[in-house]
A and B are shown apart, each in its own frame.
Chain A
C-alpha cells in the first residue's frame, strides 16, 4: 500500500514548485462529497421552533438566525444572514449586553468557511498511518472504531481510574451538550481518561477560584467595566484576544480619560497598552512578588476594607507534608498574613521584577487599586504558568483585601480564552478529575448522584481521576523519559479527539507527534478541516460546523447562550452528538458479545448512556437531539448545584438576546437573564437562600462555595516562586507565546478566511529593538529561535511601539508550517495543582538566520493520491 514512488516524487515536485510561485494547488478530491453549494441550492435549514422565536427574522431575501460567535470566550451575540439560502453576512446583536452590536474581524467574517472547499465531508479511514485514507460509510466507521476501542481496552488494564487504554480529548469549542455527552459516554464505558484543551487554557483559573471562593467561576461580569474606576489588566492582551471587551474598556476610558484608569501589567507592551495610563513591565515570572508587594502596601498603609476582611474573609496557607488537601490547607490569622507580607516590600519586589518597576510605581498602583472600584482581568499570562493557581489567588487576594468584589464595578474576572471552556468543559465535566454540575470524581456522593440520574449501576464511574493532558499524551508518546517522569504510567492505545488540534497546540510536542505516528495507537479525530492532528489519524470523522448544528456555549461571565441550526452541513458531515449516540449503540452491541464479564457488564451502561437520545438522533440530530441532551444536563444534572441552569430552557435561550447567567434555578429568573452578581444576598438567589438556611442574618455577602465551610472568601499566603526554566548563560532569552487578533488558535479556520490569512500569513518572533540591535537583526530577517527541545525559523518583528522587554522574545502559535510551529520549542512543565503547562516562559537563544525574504504560507490539506488521500504535510518531506 501507500503511494507509489513516482506519485510521491511528482507530488512533492509539484508542491515545491507551487510553493515557490505562491500558488495554491487545487486537486479535486474524487470520491469525497463536494462541499460547494450549487448556484441555486438553498442551504437554509432552520428548525420550525427557531423560526417561531425571536432568534429568527426575514428581511427581503435574507433570513437571519441569532446565535453566538465561536472565536473567543467573550460570547458576542451574532446574527448570521443567509442570502438566498447561503451564509453571506454576519452582524452583531444590538440588544446584547455583551457586544451591543459590535463584532471583531473574526466574528464578522466566519460565514466564509461554511462551504470552504477544504471542509471534511466524509468519514476517512486507514488501517496504518503509512497508508492513504479511503472514504468509508458512517456504519463502517463506527464498526471499526468500536472494534479498535475494545482492542485497546483489552491491551490496557482495569485501574482505579477505569480502563487505562482508551481516552477522550475534547475542546473548549465543543458545545456544552457535546462535552457533557462525550464525558458521560466515556465514564459509562468505564474510564476517567476524559480531558480537553481547557487544561491548556483555564485550569489554573479554576484552581484559583476553587481555592479563593471554594467554587469555580467569577462573582461578577462584563457590566462591571462600566461602573469601575480602574481596570487592572494582568497577563492578558485584551485588545487582540478579547477585542469586544477591550472596545468596552476603551469606550469608558475615552469618555472619562481622567477618572477611568487602565493599568496594564505585562512583560510585553501589547496593543492593549495603547490606552493604558500605566504599563507595569516586569521580568517574566516575577508577578507573584509584584502582587504580594501590592498587598504589602495595602495592608501596611491600612488601605484594606476592615469590615469586609474581618467579616467575610479568612486566611489560608498550604504546607506540603502537613496539610492533607491542597485546596483547603489550614487557616492562619491576619497577623500571620501580615508577617508573611513583611518580606514583600516594594523595594524587594522592584529588585526582583526589573523592567520599569520601581517601589513608587508599586505603591501608586496599590493605592489606586485599593481606593477605587477596580476590575481585574487576566488570561493566559497568569494561567499558563507553573504557579498559575498561586498567581490567580494573589490577584483575587487584592480584591478581597480591598472589598473590591461583589459590588458594581469591582470584580476579579478571569477571562476565558475559548467560547465554551467555562460552559462546556468546566461546568460540563470535561476534565479527568471533574464531573458535570461542578462535581468531582473523587467524591462518592457526586458519582452516586450522577449514576442515579443516568440510570446506570452504582459504581459505573471509576473512583479516581484519569490522566491530565500532559500525562495523557505522555501515555501515548510513552518514551523512556515519559515513563520516568510519570512512574506507573500506563500506555493509551485509543484516543478520540474532538474539535481541537493538540499536535499543534501541546507544548514540547515533538515526542507526542512521534508517538501518534506509531501504529499501536488508534487515533480518531472529529473535525471540520484537516489539521496538524488529522495528519496522524486512523479515522477522520467530519463534523458539522457552528450554526450547522444546535447547542449552547457558556462564556466567561457564567452566561449560557444558544446557537441554533441554520445551515445545511456539507456532504456527510454530522453533529458530534449524533456520532456519540450512534457509536455508543454499536459499541454496546459489541461489548455484549465479549467474553470478559467486566467488559460485558459495561454494555448495558453504554447503551443506557445514550438510550434517552436514540429516537431524537434518528429523527432530528440537528435540533431535537441537542434539545434533549440539554434538557437532561440543565434540568437534571445542574439542578440543585451552584451552576444551575434549570431555568434556562431552549425556549428561554431563544428568547434572550444575550443568554442566561447562572445561577438560574427557575424559568422566571432565567427569563430575566439569571444572576449578574454572585454571592450577594438579595441578588443571588442561592446566596439569599443559603444565608437564611444558615442563620447568617446580617451577612450581605456569603461565600457558599462547597469547599469553604466557614462561608467566607479565603485570602491565600502564596510565596514568590520563579518559572520552571529561567534563562541562563546558554539560553539567555525568555520565550513566550501568544495570539494575534486575526487568528484563532491553530488557524485551521481563520487561516482559510482570505482577509485574516492575508493579514497574518505567517508567525513572527517579536524582539526588543535593543536586543535586535545588539544581535544585528533587522525587521523581517529570519531568526533562529532555539530551546532545549526544538527550534523555529521565524521572521523578526521589531518595533519601538510594542513588543517584549529586553531579554524576552514573543512568538505567535497559529502557524502550521513546521519550521514556524513554536510548540516544538515550548516547555511542558506544569502547575502541580492545575496541571496547566507553562507555555508563557521557557529559556531560549536567538540568532540571525537569513536576511528578509518571501515566505511560504502553509495550511494542512488533503490531497488525492493513488489509492486514496494523504495530507499535503505527509507528502512533503519538509513538513512531515
Chain B
C-alpha cells in the first residue's frame, strides 16, 4: 500500500503509475445487467444495500452537485472499492497536489470523512424533496 501511494506522489508529475488495480464488485456485472433497469443504477441499489453510505453521500455537497458513485469508484468493469486519488484530481487537482507535497501518501478522506467530505458536520442541511414543496402531490 505504502509503495502504491508513494508511487502516486511521484505520479502526480509523472502521472500514470499510480492507478490502483481494479477490484471485483461483490455483485458481478452480468448479474446486475439482468436486473430491472431501476436497480441497475448504483445509487438506487445502494440505497437498499448500504443505506448508511447512501445517506452520507446523499447529504453531501457532492450529491447536491451531482457527483455520482462512478466518478470516484468507476464502472462495474473498472471498479475501485477505494478510489484512486487521481479521480479526485479532475476537479481538485491543486488541492491533491498541495496535499501530496505537504504529506505524501495522504488521501482526501483522511480528513474529510468519506462520502460526506466535510471536516465537521454531517453534510448539507435541508436538502429538499418534492414532498417538502407540494405535499399534496407526492
Contact = CB atoms under 8 A, between A and B. Distances in A.
Interface of A: 22, 59-62, 81, 83-84, 88-92, 94, 101-105, 107-108, 239-240, 243, 246-247, 250, 254, 257, 269, 271, 273-276, 278-279, 281, 355-356, 741, 754-755, 758-762, 764, 768-770, 779-780, 795, 797, 799-803, 805-806, 852-855
B66 A104 contact: yes
Given A94-B94, A281-B133, A797-B38, 20 more contacts: A60-B14, A60-B15, A60-B16, A89-B89, A91-B93, A108-B71, A257-B125, A269-B133, A271-B66, A273-B133, A281-B134, A741-B66, A758-B75, A759-B42, A768-B137, A779-B38, A780-B38, A803-B130, A854-B35, A855-B37
B23 interface: no
Contact of A250 (B41, B61, B93, B126): B61
A852 B66 contact: no
A344 B93 CA distance: 52
Contacts of B126: 257, 275
Contacts of B127: 274-275
Contacts of A104: 66
A759 B70 contact: yes
Interface string B104-137: 0000000000000000000011111111011011
Contacts of B67: 105
A122 to B, nearest CB: 30
Given A274-B128, A276-B128, A801-B131, A61 B16 contact: yes
Contacts of B39: 780
B36 interface: yes
Contacts of B3: none
Contacts of A273: 128, 130, 133
Most buried by A among B68, B136, B138: B138
Contacts of B40: 758, 761
B68 A355 contact: no
A273 B134 CA distance: 12
- Please classify the interface of chain B as helix (H, G, I), strand (E, B), loop, or mixed, using the class held by over half of its residues: loop
A31 B92 CA distance: 44
Interface of B: 13-16, 30, 33-42, 61, 64-68, 70-71, 74-78, 86, 89-94, 124-131, 133-134, 136-138
Given A89-B86, A94-B93, A799-B130, A758 B38 contact: no
Contacts of A770: 137-138
23 contacts: A22-B30, A60-B14, A60-B16, A91-B91, A92-B90, A101-B93, A108-B71, A243-B66, A247-B65, A254-B61, A273-B133, A274-B127, A275-B127, A279-B133, A355-B137, A754-B75, A758-B70, A760-B41, A761-B37, A761-B40, A800-B129, A800-B131, A854-B37
A239 B128 CA distance: 13
Contacts of B137: 281, 355-356, 768, 770, 805-806
Contacts of B124: 254, 275
Contacts of A780: 36-39
Contacts of A754: 75, 77-78
A243 B127 CA distance: 17
A207 to B, nearest CB: 31
A758 B32 CA distance: 11
